Amino acid sequence: MSFFLVFVLLTITFYDVNSSKLRFDNHKLIGLRPENFQQLKFLNQLQSNPDFDVWNSIRGLDEEIDVRLSPESYDEYKKIFDLLGIVHRVKNEDIQSAIDYESWQKNFPFSFKKFITITNNSKYLNYQQVE
């Protein structure tokens, strides 16, 4: 009976831990490229906003900055970027799908890596490589 009780408690504990993970459904990864010092200064000021999540350091002009934005904040920031002429592009439409895919790959019992490299039709392989 005590073994069953411990099992149930552990199951509930792990379930609770997994259910409290942050999710980033429909959050976008945006690449920003400041082209002048005013744009660079503005982006530096945005770093203090909690909804402007910079993934790499802002180093200088003409270097791309990766930023995670929620679906709601993306619409607002896009208007500002357009108004200020800050070059931007969406690098990933849904960050959560990339996180889920990576998690799935890590938890899968075997790797498809060898299979994928063998079936790559875009690369020429000689006879020794095929064997």
Q: Is the pLDDT of residue 78 over 80?
A: yes
Q: Which of 27, 23, 25, 24 has the alpha carbon at shortest distance from 75?
A: 27
Q: Are 32 and 81 in contact (CB under 8 A)?
A: yes
- For 28-73, what is each residue's pLDDT tens digit? 999 999 999 999 999 999 999 999 999 998 888 889 999 999 999 9
Q: Residue 29 CA to chain centroid, in angstroms?
A: 6
Q: What pLDDT sits at residue 1?
A: 54
Say how far apart CA 71 and CA 46 lie, in whole Å.
17
Q: Are 24 and 99 in contact (CB under 8 A)?
A: yes
Question: In this structure, which long-range contacts are made by residues 44-48, counting pairs with CB atoms below 8 Å and at least 24 apart in sequence?
Answer: none
pTM for the structure as a whole = 0.63
Region of poorest pLDDT, from 37-46, 85-94, 109-118: 109-118
Q: What pLDDT sits at residue 16?
A: 46
Q: Which residue is associated with the tokens 């909690």?
A: 50
Cα 1 to Cα 9, 11, 86, distances in angstroms: 13, 15, 64
